[in-house]
Amino acid sequence: MQPRKAIDWGRLSLNAYAAAVLVFLMVPSLLIIPISLGSEPFIQFPPRSLSLRWYLELIRDPAWIASFLFSLKIAIATTVMATIVGTLASLALVRGRLRFASALQVLTLAPLVVPHIVIAVALYLVFAPIGLTGSFLGFLIAHSMLSVPYVVITVTSALQKLDPSLEFAALSCGASRPKAFLLVVLPNIAPGVAAGAIFAFLASFDEATVSFFISGVEGKTITRKLFEDIDYNLTPVIASVSSVILLISILLMLLVERMRRPTTQD
């Protein structure tokens, strides 16, 4: 006879605690969405009636549109640049035999730990005199440096999982190095490269601190514009901009998860 299973209070309270923490993690950001759908000229929760008023205000405001397009342009260019630079470097870091490679790998990851405020004021100091603040080129350089670590992390881990004998076989059969890379290595590490590219895009598009400092009066990213508006005029338009940014992040993260786990088992 099986003994009746007693309720495991310990486990139950642990799960309840974890669930409460996850609610704390998720809810504040998600609250932005109903607030953005309100119709009153001030922030109201829960909104009395739903409307798209603040989204219409958003798309009619040339300043928001300009900063959104500027951020988008920077993020796309950064993604291309960081993905190419990071993938090439990862090949050398994993397959090369250079002595200083491990030191360079540490340096590559340094922008992830060095406080962004330090990087931000340092970049402002050198960019301002040469006219790179508020410029597309300045942002491309700064954001590529900040995003490249994510590409290096994902691509090196994909390369480490790839059996080097595949590439070796292609080379032995007479393929040139570029051909072996394009036909054998790249298709195998493509999920890692794509994940790195998405992380690079988000790292650029969401980046706030460095963008705050190297923006100009004209060349302003959406994060800089958001920063200013949160500080000075807290209207519900900010909630609609935040919701758009939030949804972009969620969609891209879901895409990464989908790519990482092509087959899910229950």
Partner 1 sequence: MNSRTVSKEASSGGALPNALALTLLLPLTLLLAGAFVTPILVLIFESLFAPHLTFEHYAKGLTQPLYLGVLMRTIRTACVVTAMCFLLGYPVALVMSRQKGRRVIYLAACVLIPLWTSVLVRSYAWIVLLQRKGIVNTALMDAGIISEPLKLLYTDAAVMLAMTHVLLPYMILPIYSALIAIPPDLDKAARNLGAGPIDSFFRVVFPNSLPGVYAGTIIVFILALGFYVTPALVGGPQSMTIATLIAQQTTELLNWPFAGALAGILLAATLGLVSVFGRFLRIGKGV
Touching partner 1, residues 117-176 (CB under 8 A): 117-127, 141-142, 144-145, 148-150, 152-154, 164-165, 167-168, 171-172, 174, 176
CB-based contacts of 23, cutoff 8 Å, min separation 6 = none
95 binds partner 1 (CB under 8 A): yes
92 binds partner 1 (CB under 8 A): yes
Q: Name which position in 26, 63, 69, 137 contacts partner 1 (CB under 8 A).
A: 26
10 binds partner 1 (CB under 8 A): yes
Nearest to 197 by CA among 114, 54, 78: 78
Torsion of CA 184, 189, 190, 195, to 10 degrees: -170
Q: What is the DSSP secondary-structure string of 26-83?
A: HHHHHHHHHHHTB-SSS--SS-SSB--HHHHHHHH-HHHHHHHHHHHHHHHHHHHHHH
Return d(Cα 20, Cα 187) in angstroms, integer: 42
Min separation Cβ 48 and partner 1, Å = 13
Interface with partner 1 in residues 31-90 (CB under 8 A) = 31-32, 35, 42-43, 45, 84-86, 88-89
For residue 38, which phi and psi values (nearest 5 degrees)? Answer: -70, 165
102 binds partner 1 (CB under 8 A): no
Output 5 or 97, the one with its CB closest to partner 1: 97
CB-based contacts of 3, cutoff 8 Å, min separation 6 = none
237 binds partner 1 (CB under 8 A): no
Stretch that binds partner 1, among 55-63, 72-80, 199-207 (CB under 8 A): 199-207
Q: Name which position in 1, 5, 28, 48 contacts partner 1 (CB under 8 A).
A: 28
Output 61 or 209, the one with its CB closest to partner 1: 209
Q: How far apart are the first and last CA of the chain?
A: 30
Torsion of CA 225, 228, 233, 236, to 10 degrees: 40
Q: Name which position in 41, 177, 182, 235 contacts partner 1 (CB under 8 A).
A: 177
Q: Name which position in 6, 24, 62, 130 contacts partner 1 (CB under 8 A).
A: 24
Say how many residues touch partner 1, by CB under 8 A.
Answer: 103
221 binds partner 1 (CB under 8 A): no
Return d(Cα 14, Cα 185) in angstroms, integer: 45
Q: Name which position in 56, 69, 101, 183 contacts partner 1 (CB under 8 A).
A: 101
Cβ proximity of 170 and 184 under 8 Å: yes
Min separation Cβ 223 and partner 1, Å = 6
Cβ proximity of 75 and 204 under 8 Å: yes
246 binds partner 1 (CB under 8 A): yes
Return d(Cα 3, Cα 145) in angstroms, integer: 61
Stretch that binds partner 1, among 52-60, 61-69, 72-80, 105-113 (CB under 8 A): 105-113
